[in-house]
Protein backbone atom coordinates (compact mmCIF):
# COMPACT_ATOMS: atom_id res chain seq x y z
CA UNK A 1 0.00 0.00 0.00
CA UNK A 2 1.38 3.40 -0.99
CA UNK A 3 2.20 5.71 1.92
CA UNK A 4 2.71 9.41 2.50
CA UNK A 5 5.98 10.71 3.87
CA UNK A 6 7.22 14.03 5.23
CA UNK A 7 7.61 16.45 2.31
CA UNK A 8 5.23 14.60 -0.05
CA UNK A 9 3.62 17.01 -2.51
CA UNK A 10 -0.13 16.60 -2.27
CA UNK A 11 -2.86 18.12 -4.42
CA UNK A 12 -5.94 19.40 -2.58
CA UNK A 13 -8.53 18.56 -5.21
CA UNK A 14 -10.84 21.52 -4.81
CA UNK A 15 -11.50 24.92 -6.37
CA UNK A 16 -13.29 26.14 -3.23
CA UNK A 17 -10.90 28.53 -1.42
CA UNK A 18 -12.51 27.91 1.96
CA UNK A 19 -12.27 24.14 1.68
CA UNK A 20 -8.68 24.31 0.37
CA UNK A 21 -7.67 26.56 3.26
CA UNK A 22 -9.25 24.26 5.86
CA UNK A 23 -7.55 21.15 4.48
CA UNK A 24 -4.18 22.89 4.20
CA UNK A 25 -4.48 23.96 7.84
CA UNK A 26 -5.14 20.35 8.86
CA UNK A 27 -2.21 18.81 6.98
CA UNK A 28 0.35 21.58 7.51
CA UNK A 29 1.75 20.18 10.80
CA UNK A 30 2.67 16.93 9.02
CA UNK A 31 5.05 18.55 6.56
CA UNK A 32 3.01 17.78 3.46
CA UNK A 33 3.61 20.21 0.59
CA UNK A 34 0.03 21.06 -0.38
CA UNK A 35 -1.04 22.76 -3.60
CA UNK A 36 -4.62 23.26 -4.76
CA UNK A 37 -6.11 21.96 -8.01
CA UNK A 38 -6.95 25.57 -8.86
CA UNK A 39 -3.33 26.68 -8.44
CA UNK A 40 -2.28 23.93 -10.86
CA UNK A 41 -4.91 24.97 -13.40
CA UNK A 42 -6.62 21.58 -13.26
CA UNK A 43 -10.14 21.32 -14.63
CA UNK A 44 -12.94 20.97 -12.08
CA UNK A 45 -14.76 17.70 -12.82
CA UNK A 46 -18.54 17.59 -12.84
CA UNK A 47 -19.80 15.92 -9.68
CA UNK A 48 -22.07 13.29 -11.17
CA UNK A 49 -22.11 10.72 -8.36
CA UNK A 50 -25.00 10.32 -5.91
CA UNK A 51 -22.95 9.67 -2.76
CA UNK A 52 -20.32 11.64 -0.85
CA UNK A 53 -17.89 8.74 -1.34
CA UNK A 54 -18.52 8.72 -5.09
CA UNK A 55 -17.96 12.44 -5.58
CA UNK A 56 -14.88 12.55 -3.35
CA UNK A 57 -13.36 9.67 -5.29
CA UNK A 58 -14.23 11.23 -8.64
CA UNK A 59 -12.50 14.50 -7.73
CA UNK A 60 -9.45 12.91 -6.11
CA UNK A 61 -8.80 10.46 -8.97
CA UNK A 62 -9.19 13.19 -11.62
CA UNK A 63 -6.68 15.46 -9.85
CA UNK A 64 -4.20 12.64 -9.20
CA UNK A 65 -4.20 11.47 -12.81
CA UNK A 66 -3.99 15.01 -14.22
CA UNK A 67 -1.16 16.10 -11.90
CA UNK A 68 0.79 12.87 -11.44
CA UNK A 69 0.69 13.54 -7.68
CA UNK A 70 -1.27 12.04 -4.79
CA UNK A 71 -4.50 13.93 -4.29
CA UNK A 72 -6.84 14.55 -1.37
CA UNK A 73 -10.45 15.48 -2.09
CA UNK A 74 -13.40 16.23 0.16
CA UNK A 75 -17.09 15.94 -0.53
CA UNK A 76 -19.34 17.23 2.19
CA UNK A 77 -22.80 18.51 2.86
CA UNK A 78 -25.69 18.78 5.25
CA UNK A 79 -28.48 16.21 5.56
CA UNK A 80 -31.76 17.54 6.99
CA UNK A 81 -33.76 14.67 8.39
CA UNK A 82 -37.21 16.21 7.86
CA UNK A 83 -36.28 16.77 4.20
CA UNK A 84 -35.44 13.10 3.73
CA UNK A 85 -31.71 13.83 3.83
CA UNK A 86 -31.74 16.76 1.40
CA UNK A 87 -29.80 18.69 0.31
CA UNK A 88 -27.11 16.06 1.05
CA UNK A 89 -24.68 15.59 -1.85
CA UNK A 90 -26.45 18.48 -3.60
CA UNK A 91 -25.70 20.99 -0.81
CA UNK A 92 -23.56 23.19 -3.09
CA UNK A 93 -26.19 23.02 -5.84
CA UNK A 94 -28.76 24.55 -3.48
CA UNK A 95 -26.47 27.61 -3.30
CA UNK A 96 -26.33 28.12 -7.06
CA UNK A 97 -25.98 30.40 -8.90
CA UNK A 98 -23.13 32.28 -7.31
CA UNK A 99 -22.72 29.78 -4.45
CA UNK A 100 -24.98 31.99 -2.35
CA UNK A 101 -25.50 30.03 0.86
CA UNK A 102 -27.72 32.78 2.22
CA UNK A 103 -30.28 31.70 -0.38
CA UNK A 104 -29.53 28.03 0.26
CA UNK A 105 -30.27 28.44 3.97
CA UNK A 106 -33.47 30.30 3.11
CA UNK A 107 -34.52 27.41 0.90
CA UNK A 108 -33.92 24.92 3.73
CA UNK A 109 -35.98 27.11 6.04
CA UNK A 110 -38.83 27.45 3.54
CA UNK A 111 -39.03 23.75 2.70
CA UNK A 112 -39.06 22.89 6.41
CA UNK A 113 -41.81 25.46 6.95
CA UNK A 114 -43.91 23.85 4.21
CA UNK A 115 -43.70 20.57 6.14
CA UNK A 116 -44.45 22.22 9.49
CA UNK A 117 -41.08 21.18 10.85
CA UNK A 118 -40.47 24.43 12.73
CA UNK A 119 -43.60 24.07 14.88
CA UNK A 120 -42.20 21.40 17.23
CA UNK A 121 -38.73 20.52 18.47
CA UNK A 122 -35.85 21.97 16.50
CA UNK A 123 -35.34 20.14 13.19
CA UNK A 124 -32.45 17.68 13.31
CA UNK A 125 -29.64 17.44 10.78
CA UNK A 126 -26.10 16.22 10.35
CA UNK A 127 -23.02 17.27 8.43
CA UNK A 128 -21.05 14.63 6.53
CA UNK A 129 -17.50 14.88 5.19
CA UNK A 130 -15.80 12.18 3.14
CA UNK A 131 -12.11 12.47 2.29
CA UNK A 132 -10.59 10.47 -0.54
CA UNK A 133 -6.85 10.00 -0.95
CA UNK A 134 -6.01 8.96 -4.51
CA UNK A 135 -2.76 8.10 -6.25
CA UNK A 136 -1.95 8.44 -9.97
CA UNK A 137 -2.06 4.63 -10.17
CA UNK A 138 -5.78 4.72 -9.33
CA UNK A 139 -5.37 3.46 -5.74
CA UNK A 140 -7.86 5.16 -3.39
CA UNK A 141 -8.72 5.23 0.32
CA UNK A 142 -11.83 6.76 1.91
CA UNK A 143 -12.39 8.39 5.32
CA UNK A 144 -15.77 9.56 6.70
CA UNK A 145 -16.67 12.03 9.44
CA UNK A 146 -20.09 13.04 10.79
CA UNK A 147 -21.46 15.51 13.31
CA UNK A 148 -25.11 15.59 14.42
CA UNK A 149 -27.10 18.56 15.60
CA UNK A 150 -30.17 20.76 15.17
CA UNK A 151 -31.13 23.70 13.00
CA UNK A 152 -32.02 27.25 14.06
CA UNK A 153 -33.66 30.18 12.32
CA UNK A 154 -32.66 32.90 11.68
CA UNK A 155 -29.01 32.02 11.00
CA UNK A 156 -26.54 33.14 13.67
CA UNK A 157 -22.90 34.12 13.43
CA UNK A 158 -20.41 35.25 10.82
CA UNK A 159 -17.71 32.58 11.12
CA UNK A 160 -17.42 29.50 8.94
CA UNK A 161 -19.21 29.22 5.61
CA UNK A 162 -21.99 27.30 3.90
CA UNK A 163 -24.77 26.18 6.23
CA UNK A 164 -22.69 26.79 9.39
CA UNK A 165 -24.80 29.72 10.69
CA UNK A 166 -27.96 27.60 11.03
CA UNK A 167 -26.42 24.42 12.51
CA UNK A 168 -25.94 23.80 16.24
CA UNK A 169 -23.87 20.66 16.93
CA UNK A 170 -24.96 18.26 19.67
CA UNK A 171 -23.93 19.40 23.13
CA UNK A 172 -23.41 23.03 22.06
CA UNK A 173 -25.50 26.19 22.25
CA UNK A 174 -23.68 28.14 19.52
CA UNK A 175 -23.99 27.54 15.81
CA UNK A 176 -20.90 26.66 13.80
CA UNK A 177 -21.18 30.22 12.51
CA UNK A 178 -20.90 31.64 16.04
CA UNK A 179 -18.01 29.44 17.17
CA UNK A 180 -14.46 30.61 16.93
CA UNK A 181 -12.58 28.53 14.33
CA UNK A 182 -10.67 26.51 16.94
CA UNK A 183 -13.92 25.49 18.62
CA UNK A 184 -15.55 24.42 15.38
CA UNK A 185 -12.51 22.52 14.11
CA UNK A 186 -12.29 20.55 17.35
CA UNK A 187 -15.59 18.80 16.53
CA UNK A 188 -16.38 19.39 12.85
CA UNK A 189 -17.25 16.67 10.36
CA UNK A 190 -14.16 17.47 8.28
CA UNK A 191 -11.92 17.25 11.35
CA UNK A 192 -13.41 13.86 12.21
CA UNK A 193 -12.81 12.59 8.67
CA UNK A 194 -9.28 13.95 8.88
CA UNK A 195 -8.72 12.14 12.19
CA UNK A 196 -9.42 8.83 10.41
CA UNK A 197 -7.12 9.89 7.55
CA UNK A 198 -4.41 10.79 10.06
CA UNK A 199 -4.64 7.46 11.87
CA UNK A 200 -4.31 5.47 8.65
CA UNK A 201 -1.98 7.61 6.54
CA UNK A 202 0.05 9.90 8.79
CA UNK A 203 0.83 7.62 11.72
CA UNK A 204 4.54 7.47 10.86
CA UNK A 205 4.90 11.24 10.44
CA UNK A 206 5.59 13.24 13.60
CA UNK A 207 3.40 16.32 13.72
CA UNK A 208 5.23 19.58 14.33
CA UNK A 209 3.89 21.86 17.07
CA UNK A 210 1.70 24.60 15.69
CA UNK A 211 3.70 27.77 15.20
CA UNK A 212 2.26 31.27 15.46
CA UNK A 213 1.84 32.67 11.98
CA UNK A 214 3.95 35.65 11.08
CA UNK A 215 2.73 38.24 8.64
CA UNK A 216 -0.63 38.42 6.93
CA UNK A 217 -2.65 35.27 6.37
CA UNK A 218 -3.75 36.39 2.92
CA UNK A 219 -4.82 32.89 1.90
CA UNK A 220 -7.16 32.64 4.87
CA UNK A 221 -8.58 36.12 4.26
CA UNK A 222 -9.05 35.34 0.57
CA UNK A 223 -10.85 32.10 1.44
CA UNK A 224 -13.18 33.97 3.79
CA UNK A 225 -13.90 36.74 1.27
CA UNK A 226 -14.74 34.29 -1.50
CA UNK A 227 -17.07 32.14 0.61
CA UNK A 228 -19.18 34.52 2.66
CA UNK A 229 -22.85 34.91 1.75
CA UNK A 230 -24.51 36.89 4.56
CA UNK A 231 -24.31 40.31 6.17
CA UNK A 232 -23.15 38.76 9.46
CA UNK A 233 -20.29 37.03 7.67
CA UNK A 234 -19.29 40.34 6.06
CA UNK A 235 -19.25 42.04 9.47
CA UNK A 236 -17.02 39.25 10.83
CA UNK A 237 -14.74 39.58 7.82
CA UNK A 238 -14.36 43.33 8.39
CA UNK A 239 -13.49 42.61 12.03
CA UNK A 240 -10.82 40.18 10.80
CA UNK A 241 -9.40 42.88 8.52
CA UNK A 242 -9.24 45.28 11.49
CA UNK A 243 -7.43 42.64 13.55
CA UNK A 244 -5.03 42.06 10.68
CA UNK A 245 -4.30 45.78 10.39
CA UNK A 246 -3.66 46.02 14.13
CA UNK A 247 -1.28 43.04 14.05
CA UNK A 248 0.33 43.35 10.63
CA UNK A 249 -0.10 47.01 9.79
CA UNK A 250 3.52 47.29 8.62
CA UNK A 251 2.69 44.80 5.84
CA UNK A 252 -0.26 46.83 4.55
CA UNK A 253 0.78 48.94 1.53
CA UNK A 254 -1.94 51.48 2.44
CA UNK A 255 -2.32 52.54 6.07
CA UNK A 256 -4.06 55.92 6.01
CA UNK A 257 -7.72 56.46 5.22
CA UNK A 258 -7.18 58.57 2.10
CA UNK A 259 -4.87 55.99 0.50
CA UNK A 260 -7.14 53.12 1.51
CA UNK A 261 -10.23 54.77 0.02
CA UNK A 262 -8.32 55.42 -3.18
CA UNK A 263 -7.26 51.76 -3.31
CA UNK A 264 -10.85 50.70 -2.54
CA UNK A 265 -12.13 52.80 -5.44
CA UNK A 266 -9.68 51.11 -7.80
CA UNK A 267 -10.58 47.68 -6.45
CA UNK A 268 -14.31 48.37 -6.86
CA UNK A 269 -13.70 49.28 -10.49
CA UNK A 270 -11.58 46.22 -11.24
CA UNK A 271 -12.86 43.37 -9.09
CA UNK A 272 -14.50 40.62 -11.13
CA UNK A 273 -18.14 40.47 -10.04
CA UNK A 274 -20.23 37.64 -11.51
CA UNK A 275 -23.87 38.67 -11.72
CA UNK A 276 -24.97 35.95 -9.32
CA UNK A 277 -22.33 36.67 -6.65
CA UNK A 278 -23.79 37.73 -3.28
CA UNK A 279 -23.32 41.49 -2.80
CA UNK A 280 -21.67 40.95 0.61
CA UNK A 281 -19.01 38.79 -1.03
CA UNK A 282 -18.32 41.40 -3.71
CA UNK A 283 -17.76 44.05 -1.05
CA UNK A 284 -15.50 41.76 1.01
CA UNK A 285 -13.35 40.98 -2.02
CA UNK A 286 -13.02 44.69 -2.83
CA UNK A 287 -12.01 45.49 0.75
CA UNK A 288 -9.37 42.77 0.75
CA UNK A 289 -8.05 43.87 -2.64
CA UNK A 290 -7.73 47.46 -1.36
CA UNK A 291 -5.77 46.26 1.68
CA UNK A 292 -3.27 44.51 -0.60
Whether CATH 3.90.950.10 fits 9-201: yes
Average pLDDT value over all residues in the chain: 89
The answer to whether the beta carbons of residues 87 and 151 sit under 8 Å apart is no
Q: Provide the residue ranges of all domains of the chain, joining segments of one domain with +.
A: 9-201, 218-291
pLDDT band at 217, cuts 50/70/90? confident
Residue-level pLDDT at 32: 84
Q: Is 75 a catalytic residue?
A: yes
Residue-level pLDDT at 94: 93
How would you write 212-272 as a 3-class SS string? CCCCCCHHHHHHHHHHCCCHHHHHHHHHHHHHHHHHHHHHCCCCCHHHHHHHHHHHHHHCC
**Residue 198 is assigned to a ligand binding site:** no
**Residue 19 is assigned to a ligand binding site:** yes
Mean pLDDT of 69-80: 95
**Chain segment 170-180, per-residue pLDDT in tens:** 999 999 999 98
Name the packing angle between helices 257-270 and 279-291 (round to 10°). Answer: 130
**Residue 81 is assigned to a ligand binding site:** no
Residue-level pLDDT at 272: 75
Q: How far apart are CA 215 and CA 248, in angstroms?
A: 6
**Cα–Cα separations (whole angstroms), residue 206 to 31, 72, 218:** 9, 20, 27
**Residue 188 is assigned to a ligand binding site:** no
DSSP class of 99: T
- Secondary structure of residue 275 in the 3-state scheme: coil
**Residue 109 is assigned to a ligand binding site:** no
**Residue 269 is assigned to a ligand binding site:** no
Among 33, 39, 74, 75, which one carries the catalytic annotation? 75
The answer to whether the beta carbons of residues 264 and 215 sit under 8 Å apart is no
Q: How far apart are CA 16 and CA 184, in angstroms?
A: 19
pLDDT above 70 (res 169): yes
pLDDT above 70 (res 210): no
**Chain segment 28-64, per-residue pLDDT in tens:** 888 888 888 988 999 889 889 999 999 999 999 999 9
**Chain segment 115-140, per-residue pLDDT in tens:** 999 999 999 999 999 999 999 999 99
Nearest to 219 by CA among 14, 18, 10: 18
**Residue 189 is assigned to a ligand binding site:** yes
Identify the residue with better confidence: 97 or 144.
Answer: 144
**Chain segment 170-207, per-residue pLDDT in tens:** 999 999 999 988 889 889 999 999 999 988 888 777 66
The answer to whether the beta carbons of residues 123 and 109 sit under 8 Å apart is no
Residue-level pLDDT at 4: 83
Nearest to 77 by CA among 187, 161, 2, 9: 161
Amino acid sequence: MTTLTFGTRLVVASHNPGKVWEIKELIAPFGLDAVSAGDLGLAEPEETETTFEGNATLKAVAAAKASGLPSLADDSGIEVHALDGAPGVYSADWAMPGKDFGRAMQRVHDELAERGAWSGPAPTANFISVLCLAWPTGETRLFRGRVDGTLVWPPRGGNGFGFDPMFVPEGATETFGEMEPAGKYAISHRTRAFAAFKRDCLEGIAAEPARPKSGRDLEGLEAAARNLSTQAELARFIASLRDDLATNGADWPVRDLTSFLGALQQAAEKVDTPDAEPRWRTLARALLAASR
